[in-house]
């Protein structure tokens, strides 16, 4: 408790102990440094939950800080990481954008340092990669450097960067041979017997499918005409 009976202001960064943890820890360190350098009076705490997948519906482990437990239950948090300022949820399921953080702190967005924005981008990039690996599976997405702050923006950039449908000599030869059999080339991949929907792969050309409504085989055919 501070002077005049006012509670000391609190800022919590709470996150799960998963593969995104290192990115959040980097962000938390830079955030703490920014607060200190700018004399922003807050009690800052970075808290890693000692479980891989935290389920708010289950009993929280006994060794979690009681204050953290209180906030999680009070705010009914359903996603991590989350930022809590003065018992108000700034973000959950992701780190806040620079604009959202600045608004919560009562400062201008331009005051957020570039190193903190860069740490945010690295986290969002990793989160987007994780999301793509979970829901897309294939094609395999290579890591790319992006400047966007939110996973939604980054997923879009990564997906666009991954669309490298290279037509190989082997593909051309395969299509050439099959064309001679009178094979009926599909208008879309979904109607093709060679399309593996689960893996999003063309079994004929052994290639990833990025757009089922724009079959790679027809692009190869155009090379033959």
Query: Which residue range forms the structural domain that includes residue 177?
Result: 169-224
- Does any domain span residue 2? no
- Does any domain span residue 125? yes
Compute the average pLDDT of residues 112-135: 81
> Residue 51 has what pLDDT?
62
> Residue 23 has what pLDDT?
95
- Does any domain span residue 164? no
Domain shared by 86 and 62, yes or no: yes
Distances (CA, A) of 204 to 79, 136, 172, 184, 193: 41, 20, 11, 13, 9
- Does any domain span residue 162? no
Digit-coded pLDDT (tens) for 211-221: 788 888 988 88
Domain shared by 92 and 202, yes or no: no
Domain shared by 146 and 65, yes or no: yes
Is the pLDDT reported for residue 154 higher than 80?
no
Number of domains in the chain: 2
Domain shared by 81 and 177, yes or no: no
Q: What is the pTM of this model?
A: 0.58
């Amino acid at each position: 408790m501070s002077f005049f009976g006012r509670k000391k202001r609190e800022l919590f960064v709470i996150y799960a102990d998963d593969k995104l943890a290192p990115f959040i820890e980097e962000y938390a360190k830079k955030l703490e440094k920014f607060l200190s350098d700018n004399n922003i009076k807050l009690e800052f705490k970075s808290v890693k939950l000692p479980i891989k997948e935290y389920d708010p519906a289950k009993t929280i482990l006994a060794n979690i800080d009681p204050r953290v437990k209180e906030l999680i239950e009070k705010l009914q948090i359903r996603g991590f990481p989350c930022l809590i300022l003065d018992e108000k949820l700034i973000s959950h399921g992701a780190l806040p954008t620079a604009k959202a953080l600045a608004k919560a702190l009562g400062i201008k967005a331009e005051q957020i340092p570039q190193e903190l924005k860069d740490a945010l981008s690295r986290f969002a990039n990793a989160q987007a990669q994780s999301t793509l690996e979970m829901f897309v599976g294939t094609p395999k997405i290579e890591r790319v450097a992006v400047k966007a702050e939110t996973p939604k923006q980054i997923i879009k950039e990564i997906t666009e960067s991954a669309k490298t449908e290279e037509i190989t000599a082997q593909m051309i030869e395969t299509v050439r041979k099959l064309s001679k059999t009178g094979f009926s080339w599909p208008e879309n991949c979904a109607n093709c017997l060679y399309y593996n929907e689960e893996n999003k792969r063309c079994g004929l050309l052994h290639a990833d499918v990025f757009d089922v409504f724009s079959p790679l085989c027809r692009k190869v055919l155009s090379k033959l005409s």
